[in-house]
Amino acid sequence: MKWLISLNGLAKTFVGVVEVSSKFAFLSSDNRQMPFDIFIPVDKLNGAKDGQKAIARITDWPKNVKNPFGEIVEVLGNQGENETEMHAILAEYGLPYRFPADVEKDAEKIPDKITAEDVSIRRDFRSIPTFTIDPEDAKDFDDALSLSRLPNGNWEVGVHIADVTWYVKPGTLTDDEAIDRATSVYLVDRTIPMLPEKLSNHICSLRAHEDKLCFSAVFEIDENATFLNEWFGRTVINSDKRFSYQEAQW
């Protein structure tokens, strides 16, 4: 069987365990699509030690040679350690756990102050009881609920989502990076955000007692929860309370 491993014209990378002897080394890939150990010349180990997890890049695969040649491009750490295994999962599935420096720099330029002009074109919900419900350790509160009794006796329910597009403009480095990532990824002990921390955990996080710009869906319902009216548009909110799931379910 002939194997050709490439990605956009570049050699593909594989995550695995390094095996080192006195004269040569291999990386045993965690990926079943790579059934052969990758031969690593000792001068291409780049600090990797026997038994460690690392990322190897295929550099050559001569015809009629069973094992491809490669080099270690990143050492993840000792096999079995939580941090190592988490980084191995991220690398295996191509999930970037760092933002490029130019993207971070671009995000830092985004202003975090809300002006009177920003508020003037929005429906103001800051006086309406509003809250968020998220995991206990969450930092990115991207949605909120509001509830108020209308003069006619019906209820108005608002579903508010952080208005990221107000801050992240098309064609910017931050926007391009978000397109590439597509979504935030939630693992057992960490989140791989779609947006840099300044946005995901601060500007666009609907933290309690802070004015925040949102895009909202607002519904009027009666006592039987029948939908009577709806409105969609840009809003400004100020969350009164940050609930955890445990508190909300109590």
210/185 Cα distance (integer angstroms): 26
What is the pTM for the complete model shown?
0.74
Residue 229's DSSP bridge partners are: 220
Burial of 181 (0-12, 13-18, 19+ CB in 10 A): middle
Q: What is the pLDDT of residues 38-68, one digit of tens each?
A: 999 988 898 899 999 999 999 888 888 888 9
Q: Which of 241, 234, 247, 245 is nearest to 132 (CA)?
A: 241
pLDDT band at 188; cut points 50, 70, 90: confident
Q: Which of 52, 108, 44, 90 is nearest to 70 (CA)?
A: 44
Is the pLDDT score of 8 beyond 50?
A: no
For residue 6, what pLDDT is reported? Answer: 46
